[in-house]
Amino acid sequence: MFSIVLLPEFEAVGSVGYWDRKWKEESVYEIGWSILPPYQGRGLATAGVAEAIASAGVEQKHRFIHAFPSIHNPASNAVCRKLNFSLMSQCEFEYPPGNIMQCNDWRLELNK
């Protein structure tokens, strides 16, 4: 996980991270992010996700990175569009545990 901070004060305003997962019998990265409400709408998630993608690409471990934002989260889906993810399908995810949510499966090929 990485903190997303505002400079020059180094104020933590969110986080982004990626991790290994199996998705449809393939080893991939999953990526997720969050920005505190007062700081949303400033492009901070897009910038933070772009940096995390660059970090994942350097590792050269997996070909794809997936994001699974809720279908009801237009801002997170917009981050995926801005960063050239491809919308693969809708899917169900259990998050948090015990709660099924409808998500979009966005995929980006690393190191094209």
For 86-96, write each residue's pLDDT tens digit: 999 999 988 88
33 neighbors 77 (Cβ within 8 angstroms): no
- 48: tokens are 């933070």
Q: Determine the Cα angle at 108 with ends 104 and 112, to 5°.
A: 165
- CATH numbers and ranges of domains, the chain: 2-109 (3.40.630.30)
Q: How far apart are CA 4 and CA 27, in angstroms?
A: 26
> Using 50, 70 and 90 to split pLDDT, how confident is the model at 111?
confident
For residue 71, CA distances in Å to 14, 33, 36, 45, 67 come to: 21, 15, 20, 17, 12
Q: How far apart are CA 5 and CA 12, in angstroms?
A: 4
For 62-108, write each residue's pLDDT tens digit: 999 999 999 999 999 999 999 999 999 999 988 889 999 999 999 99
Helix (H) or strand (E) holding 39: none
